[in-house]
Structure 1
Amino acid sequence: MIGDVRAVTARDGWAGVGAALARAEESIAALPPPDARTAAQRTRAAGVQDEARALRTAFLDTHVDAVYDRLTEGRTTPLRLADLVSAAAVAYPGLVPTAGQLAAERKRLQAGKEGHEIDQGIFLRAVLASPVAGAHLLDAMLRPTPRALELLPRFTETGLVDTRSVRLERRDGAAHLTMHRDDCLNAEDEQQVDDMETAVDLALLDPGVRVAVLRGGEMTHPRYRGKRVFSSGINLKSLHAGDISLVGFLLRRELGYIHKIVRGVRGVGGASWHSRTVEKPWIAAVDTFAIGGGMQLLLVCDHVLAASDAYVSLPAAREGIVPGAGNLRLGRHTGPRISRQVILQDRRLPATDPDARLVLDEVVEPAAMDDAIAAAVDRLGGPAVVPNRHMLNVAEEPAAEFRRYMAEFALQQALRIHGADVVGKVGRFTQRSA
């Protein structure tokens, strides 16, 4: 099969590949919707999809840089993830799903989807794996969002911006990003990812900010009413409902605001010939727990403090998905054995556990959190902090290493969110939470 695929790619180029993908799409379209297919029809669909995906992979293995150059006009136009896949759908029909296909998928529960995002994962793996195209895409993702640029004058003047998910407030040179999705224990969905990237951009672009602080707000959940919670990770109800997308959430989160926390924001403000990005130190303050994506955030912050009654965990294997770049970063903090216990076996680390101190810099009594945050802000406010944290990040996580990891993540996570085990787990979670 692979030999035939490569022969089609080499002999006919995109014309032959596009025609073959169109025939595959027609074959799939002739079947009932995914959740209405018989076992034989599911087997047939899987076979057609496998052949089509092998063809896409073979074509991109050879032509990804040429495809990317066409989409970005010779790398003169920086396109963010969503714009890039949209442009590819128009320029190369069948290579990635169309806007119409994605819109139809969005109306379905996760269990009823065709899995078109896997084809986006194939495309983005190839782009990110390329030292040329991938580096250009990562650079494009460091640029501030239009929403942040629109809000910047207001935040610079007032020091306050409220979004649905995040409250951003500047106090005495520190930007305090408070996650306040009290309805879901700060579980992240696409709205929160957008709000977080906006807030991160604003904190980095405002010249009045020296240090940024991430913390969770007070909850209204009956079990945690009146208590602060850092984050409960991905919103599994949104995943079950089909509202967690590969591009808009899973990849944008990693390549957007978390990437900017590590490497800064690109292209405006204080960037200059000697500093391509504006960087600032980040403090994370953990109340109650940091689960999943919440714990992932701790791994990119410069100082992490936690209340003594808090805990951290990365329940990736239990949820069935890959915990973002946690697999890349956790072992640097804990060593390989503990990272495998946390990621593969769902080991929870209470803040008072000695092993937790490999992730946490400081553990204090809950009543002392505010004072500890203020002291950390003072320590990280010096002029030499930014260049030193920049060099630490260069040494610990070279951009090329991050790019290669994210290339494989793009496909593996796309496969995982459509895995039968994941669909079953999030469905059971939603039933228990109803």
Structure 2
Amino acid sequence: MPPSPDRTGAQAERATGLHESCRAARHAFLARHADAVYDVLTAGRTRRPRLPDLAAQAAVRFPGLVPDAAQLAEERGRLQAHKEGREIDQGIFFGALLRSSTAGTHLIESMLRPAPGSADSLAEFRRTDRLELPAVLLERRGEAAHVTFRNGHCLNAEDNRLIAGLETAIDVALLDDRVRVGVLRGGPVTHPRHAGKRVFSAGINLKELHAGAISFVDFLLGRELGYVNKLARGLLREDPAAGGATAGKPWVGVVDSFAIGGGMQLLLVLDRVIAEEGAFLSLPAADEGIVPGLGNLRLTRLTGARTARQIILSGRRIHTADPAASLLVDEVLPTAALDGAAERAVRELAGPAVAANRAMLTLAEEPLESLRGYLAEFAVVQARRIHSPDVIAKTERHRARSGRASV
């Protein structure tokens, strides 16, 4: 057949039918053989490949199970609307692995290990107390590691580059034994409407999603299993004597202007949230058409079910003056007072018993089995949502609006 945008209506219908029949076969195969497949790819769980490596090996060892390198390269050069939806097959694959208690637990733990390159970055950080990455700045100030988002051209929106930089920065902060507490904050932006102001995050970069430049494996699934889960649970210790335990640290978030989408999701795993007067939080899942990461799993325990539904299903914004803000934010202060509040939070959370107690809170609030079960469904649903017609249409409308005005 010709490429997707050049197909006739009959050809498009035929292609959809072929894809869906193949996906049904993959679902059926993995329902029976997920553990066996995972054992082959990890040498009986003696190796710990990350998501991209696992998918790449599966394409070689089990041809047709997931897209191969050539198919993925072809997809990368296309707009989201013109793709075949190969990432749906990756979602089926990872969803099946995560449904298995054996394979899924091993995979989650594997993704809690430091990412490639983090050890080299740690050496540089220890020399200079500063690490500059393409979209992230990491600085040590006393016992605190300050992580600043620097994707200012797009209101600190999330893209592949920012996600990769954040995982490295979080790894380094967790690995450096001089650091007791981490601080997350958005840097100043260059967007005309907010030029020079700090912004926490505008969520997923819809322009990049429209362009087909948002990776399912590295970004949409990788952020949840990678740096966000590391914020919640810490790093998997490499010392066998540690018995597979994780080493975590407390985290503070300072919200300037707004925390939208993925930005708000981050706040749900932090230990202290300080917000600027007039800021707002939102999870615009209903508007964007995608699943807001693990927000559906974590938001309810903070806000209760009714408010969580209003935020996720109806797009309700929580402003700092809203009484509901107290469920999500610890302090609301004038802009000039934010730096001092962050310093106080660092001092309060730097105590030796804090890390152990936050680990126990995480264990009580979000058991690993609950996380694994949610991620198994999320992998499949999110992969389909990013290729759904309504999401494609919404990214096109966003691109058209942003091309006409600076909003």
**Following superposition, which runs of at least 4 residues in structure 1 exceed 2 angstroms of deviation?**
271-275
Which one has a bigger Cα radius of gyration? Answer: 1
Opposite residue 126 of structure 1, the aligned amino acid is A
Opposite residue 179 of structure 1, the aligned amino acid is F
CA RMSD of aligned residues (A): 1.1
Opposite residue 268 of structure 2, the aligned amino acid is L
Distance 1:74 1:275, change over 3 A: closer
Q: How far apart are 1:272 and its partner, in Å?
A: 5.1
Equivalent residue, structure 2, for 1:235: 205
Separation (CA, whole Å) in 2 of partners of 1:47 and 1:433: 35
Separation (CA, whole Å) in 2 of partners of 1:139 and 1:326: 21
Equivalent residue, structure 1, for 2:144: 174
Give the number of the structure with larger relative contact order, counting CA–CA contacts within 8 Å between residues 6 or more apart.
2
**Which residue of the other structure, out of 218, 221, 235, is the alignment partner of 2:191?**
221
**Which residue of the other structure, out of 199, 204, 224, is the alignment partner of 1:254?**
224
Report the secondary structure of 2:226's partner residue. helix
Alignment check: 8 A CA contact 2:59 2:66 kept: yes
Confirm whether residue 96 of structure 1 aligns to residue 66 of structure 2.
yes
Equivalent residue, structure 2, for 1:396: 365
Confirm whether residue 74 of structure 1 aligns to residue 44 of structure 2.
yes
Alignment check: 8 A CA contact 2:199 2:256 kept: yes
Alignment check: 8 A CA contact 2:318 2:324 kept: yes
Separation (CA, whole Å) in 2 of partners of 1:382 and 1:155: 23
Report the secondary structure of 1:73's partner residue. coil
Confirm whether residue 143 of structure 1 aligns to residue 123 of structure 2.
no
Question: Cα deviations across residues 338-366 of structure 1 (Å, max 9, x unaligned)?
Answer: 11100010000101111011111111111
Separation (CA, whole Å) in 2 of partners of 1:193 and 1:113: 22
Q: How far apart are 1:322 and its partner, in Å?
A: 0.3
Alignment check: 8 A CA contact 2:283 2:315 kept: yes
Report the secondary structure of 1:56's partner residue. helix
Separation (CA, whole Å) in 2 of partners of 1:428 and 1:376: 41
Q: How far apart are 1:157 and its partner, in Å?
A: 2.1
Q: How far apart are 1:275 and its partner, in Å?
A: 6.9
Separation (CA, whole Å) in 2 of partners of 1:242 and 1:275: 37
Alignment check: 8 A CA contact 1:309 1:366 kept: no
Confirm whether residue 45 of structure 1 aligns to residue 37 of structure 2.
no
Q: How far apart are 1:273 and its partner, in Å?
A: 2.3
Equivalent residue, structure 2, for 1:412: 381
Q: What residue ranges of structure 1 are gaps of 5+ in the alignment?
A: 1-30
Distance 1:154 1:272, change over 3 A: farther
Report the secondary structure of 1:76's partner residue. coil
Report the secondary structure of 1:114's partner residue. coil
Confirm whether residue 297 of structure 1 aligns to residue 297 of structure 2.
no
Q: How far apart are 1:432 and its partner, in Å?
A: 1.1
Report the secondary structure of 1:393's partner residue. helix
Q: How far apart are 1:103 and its partner, in Å?
A: 0.5
Aligned-pair identity (%): 57
Q: How far apart are 1:218 and its partner, in Å?
A: 1.0
Q: How does 1:267-306 map to 2 (within 5 A)?
A: 267-268=237-238, 273=242, 276-306=245-275
Question: Cα deviations across residues 4-39 of structure 1 (Å, max 9, x unaligned)?
Answer: xxxxxxxxxxxxxxxxxxxxxxxxxxx111111111
Equivalent residue, structure 2, for 1:200: 170
Equivalent residue, structure 2, for 1:315: 284
Separation (CA, whole Å) in 1 of partners of 2:244 and 2:395: 43
